[in-house]
Amino acid sequence: MFRGVNFKQRLFYLIVIILILAIVVLFLWSGSDHDSLAETTNNKVTVDSQTVASNIPLPLPSIQNCRMHTNDCFNIYRCGYNEGDKISVYVYPFTNYFDEQGHQVSPPFSREFYDLVMAIKESNYYTSDMDKACIIVPPLDMLNQRRINVKYAGQILNSLPSWRQLGGKNHLIFNMIPGQSPDFNTSLDVQTDKAVLASGSFSSSSYRPGFDISIPISNSLTQHYLGEQNIRKSTKKWFLLSAQANYNPNYRPTLENLAALRENVLVLNRCIKDDRIYSRCDGELLSYKYPQILQSSTFCLVIRGVRLGQSSLLDALMMGCIPVIIADNYVLPFSEVIDWPRAAVIVREEQISNVYEILTSYTPQEITDMVKQVNHLWSNYFSSMKKITLTTIKIINDRVFPNSAWSYEDWNTPNIPPSGEAKV
């Protein structure tokens, strides 16, 4: 390869190769699972066009001490227009935004954002009258921060008539994947003033209790396996499985050592010769289909990567595998209402070497009950963007009208319909 070139040229080629390998490694770890939200929707929808003036100022940064029942951040009096104890939600029309030179500065609408908007419009919460809306959802798809320009996103928000009127109050922003390299912040980097954030990777320090809502990260690339939950295996070949492709590499030696010592533990990685999202490999010997392999294990590891939130959590729920969540300070999805220890095992990162002993302390009956709870959470709150969206709205509704809010049992008891209302 290097014949006919001098030492300096060889050194240059070597540096280039090292840089390319470093970029590939960073890409694989930084999370193709994380960023697997579908790029665009194929649905034909009517889309408005707006120009964003270059002199529009950015919104103020988000206020850390915001709470739902403080008028400084949320106008509760806008929520009394509907009959009964139900909030009203307005969604702006689908809109593409352009700068003054005619370049589009908003991302194409993802399939997830389209489903989110349609879930609201087809629900009993929807109102077409923005002036009578308790909650207003902007027309900008911010589900994946990697697809947006943070500066333009802020200007687009500040260009909305309702935003200028309310300073972001009563606006709800959905964001599953916050942060970008190298910082990977646990909250959306767009300045959002007094808006409520429904985000997928909150830490205990970035989450505002009673104001923000922690939502899951959906993996659109595995969602077409939904039908396979009906053919889940009743017998489990593995006791503990790690099939996540993008967890913190510092934990890999511990897990591989555990798998070497225990025949009922399987640790899989991305395949060297087949790097597709649907494949996992046990070294270079065996290849397994993902996410189907998850249904063959009782417990499935969900470990923090560069972001706290992981789409592998929903993959485990989808396939009926009890998630073992190892992500310190992670605010679990809908934890305001969901009792996660009934469906998952939460292990501190410093205890990862003891995870097998922790799991073997659960009795067969406790495991059976947890699997039942996994199925309950998946089918009622996480199995589609519609369920995720309406669960988010329902939580806000319960905050605004606490006297008619669902009880703990309504949210967490399988097969018992909530009092006075159908499941989300």
Domains present along the chain, CATH in parentheses: 48-214 (no CATH), 220-383 (3.40.50.2000)
Q: pLDDT per residue over 146-179, tens digit each?
A: 999 999 999 999 999 999 999 999 999 999 999 8
User: Could you tell me which of 174, 158, 165, 157 has the C-alpha nearest to residue 212?
Assistant: 174
Q: pLDDT per residue over 90-104, tens digit each?
A: 999 999 999 999 999
Single-letter amino acid code for the residue at 409: E
- The pLDDT of residue 26 is 37
> Torsion angle of alpha carbons 12, 16, 18, 19, nearest 10°?
130
> For 85-94, 130-139, 220-229, which range has the lowest pLDDT when averaged over its residues?
220-229
**Among the residues of 104-244, which ranges form H helices?**
111-121, 150-159, 161-166
Whether the predicted pLDDT of 25 surpasses 50: no
Give me the chain's average pLDDT, please. Answer: 87
113 with 66: CB under 8 angstroms? no
**Among the residues of 237-292, which ranges form H helices?**
252-261
pTM: 0.87
User: Could you tell me which of 263, 260, 258 has the C-alpha nearest to residue 301?
Assistant: 258
Q: How far apart are CA 13 and CA 300, in angstroms?
A: 42
140 with 153: CB under 8 angstroms? yes
Q: pLDDT per residue over 315-357, tens digit each?
A: 999 999 999 999 999 999 999 999 999 999 999 999 999 999 9
Q: How far apart are CA 252 and CA 274, in angstroms?
A: 20
> Torsion angle of alpha carbons 12, 13, 14, 15, nearest 10°?
50
Q: Dmax of the chain from CA atoms? A: 83
Q: pLDDT per residue over 101-153, tens digit each?
A: 999 999 999 999 999 999 999 999 999 999 999 999 999 999 999 999 999 99
Q: How far apart are CA 413 and CA 424, in angstroms?
A: 14
249 with 242: CB under 8 angstroms? no
Phi first, then psi, for residue 305 (nearest 5°) are -115, -135
Please name every residue paired with 214 in a beta bridge, in sequence order, or none if there are none: 199
- The pLDDT of residue 31 is 40
